[in-house]
Structure formats: structure tokens, C-alpha cells
Amino acid sequence: MKLALVSIAVRTKSERFDTLTSDYAGRVEAYAPIEIMVFKTSESFFDSLDRQKSRMGTMLVLLDPRGKQLSSADLAGWIGKKRDEGQQHLVFAIGPADGWSDAERARANLLLSLGPMTLPHELARVVLSEQIYRAFTILSGHPYHTGH
């Protein structure tokens, strides 16, 4: 299974956040290939998604305040289930500052919320990349999740 971590933002504002995101993404690579991508607009993101030849094998997860809130263990279970079902590509996308449109939300296979608080894009990327890494460590029985 391949992963993509997408954010819709004009630019990243802090190299420190980029470093943290890259660190967690590097850790995820031990379990699955992951690509970090930034698009300036949601339109350019969806155009790119539509052009992918493997679209049929792509599952889209949009981060949205109205989305489902999952515990780390539940996210791990969901990712593990998709992996075991043979899902080829999971795309996690953090939306634009004004949020996803209703039409964009309708395209998602899952709406996921990191919680009711508003986070800067850069911090949301760090949190999401860490949670994806944590999910894979839970699935593999690695002690990271339990703090050992």
C-alpha cells in the first residue's frame, strides 16, 4: 500500500514543522512508501487526483472538522483493514484554510477529524504524520505506542 499526505496551502511557513513531518514520514517508510505533497488549491489537487491512472485503487481521506474522530487504535485498525483488503493507495488530504466544499467532501471515502480545535496546516501535517506512524507501530506490535 502506498500513502500520500497532501496539504492545500500556498506555502509552508516553518522549516521546523517540515522537518518534523519529514521525520515521521521517514519512519512510516519502514512500513509503507509515503509521499508528502503540497498543492496551492484544492482544484489543482483534485485535477492531479483525477489524472492518476490508478484512481480506481485510490482511497481518499479528507481531514475535515465534521469528520469522524478516531482514536489512534481505531485509525490503526482502519488502516490495517484497508491494507488487508488490498487497498493500493491511501491519500490523506488537509484542506484549504476555508475548508472543503460540499462537492469535495462528497468525493471522500472517509472524512476524518483531528478534533474540534483549529490547527495551522503545518501542525496538522505533523500530527497526522505522527498518527499514521503510530498506526503502523500499533499494527506491527512495535512498542512506540505504549511508550516503551
Binding site residue list for S-adenosyl-L-methionine: 63, 95, 114-119
How far apart are the C-alpha atoms of 69 and 47, rounded to whole Å? 28
> Residue 95: is it exposed, middle or buried by C-beta count within 10 angstroms (0-12/13-18/19+)?
buried
Return the SS3 of 34: strand
Q: Which three cell numbers, joined as nine digits, stand for 78?
A: 482502519
Binding residues: 63, 95, 114-119
